[in-house]
Amino acid sequence: MNESYAERGYAERGYARGGQKSTRAGGVILGAIAFLCTFLVLWGLYYATGTGERHKVALAAAGCEPNLLSVNVGCTTVWMLERQWTQLTTSDVQQLNADVADYTVSQRRSLAKAKSALAAEVTTAKAFDTSLAQFPFPPAVAPSAKRLILAIQARIKLTAEQAGSSSLPQLRSFNARIDASGAEIQADMALVRKALFTRPTVNEEP
C-alpha cells in the first residue's frame, strides 16, 4: 500500500502510548460495529427478498388505482392522482377564468380586445385539452374523462367560431351557447373529480 495512513504517523502515536494495547480498543470497536453491520446488511438483503409480496399488500393498502404504472412504486395511489389532478387543473382553470373575464370586460367595448381574449382562451383550452388527454385516468374514470375532453373540444370549436365574428353583436350572439357549454364542462369536471377521489372497490384492486 502506498502512502498508507500508518506512514503518516498514527501507528507510531498509537504504539508510543502503550504499544499493542493502545490499538486494541480500536479493534474491539471496529469489530463490534462490523459485526452489527454484517447483521444489518444480511437482514436487509433477506428483507429485500420479500419485496414482491409486500408490494401487493402495499398496493392495496395505499389505495392504488389498478393498471396504472409508476416507475418507482409500481402503482399510482388515489392520493397521487388527486395531487396530479389538482396540479393540472388549478393553473389552467385559473388562466381560463382570467381569459373569460377579459372577454366579459371587452365584449361591449372593443371587438379587437374581445377577439384577442377569445384567442387566448382557445390557446389555454387547447393546452388543457392536451394535458387531459395525457392524464393517466383509471379505467373507471375514463368514460367521464372522455366526455369532459369532448366537451372541451366542442367549446374550443365554438370559441374559435366566436372569435371569427365581424361585429360585437355577432360576437355576443354566441354567449348563450358558450355559457351552456361552460356549464356542461363544469358538470363533467365535477364528475371526473369525484370519480378520481374515490377509492377503488375491492374487486378493482389488483
Three-state DSSP class for residue 179: helix
Residues 99-138: x/- map of binding to other proteins (CB under 8 A)? ----------------------------------------
Instruction: Classify 67 as helix, strand or coil.
Output: coil
Number of residues that bind other proteins (CB under 8 A): 63
H or E element at residue 116: helix 111-134
Does the footprint of other proteins cover residue 206 (CB under 8 A)?
A: no
- x/- string (CB under 8 A) for other proteins, residues 62-91? xxx-----xxxxxx-x-xx--xx--x---x
Among 24, 109, 157, 194, binds other proteins (CB under 8 A): 24
139 neighbors 102 (Cβ within 8 angstroms): no
Closest residue by Cα to residue 79 from 175, 196, 176 = 196
CA atoms within 13 A on the CB side of 199: 9
Cβ 134 to other proteins shortest distance, Å: 10
| Residue (of 97, 126, 107, 121) closest to 165 by Cα position | 107
Interaction site with other proteins (CB under 8 A): 1-16, 20, 22-27, 29-31, 33-35, 37-38, 40-41, 44, 47-48, 50-59, 61-64, 70-75, 77, 79-80, 83-84, 87, 91
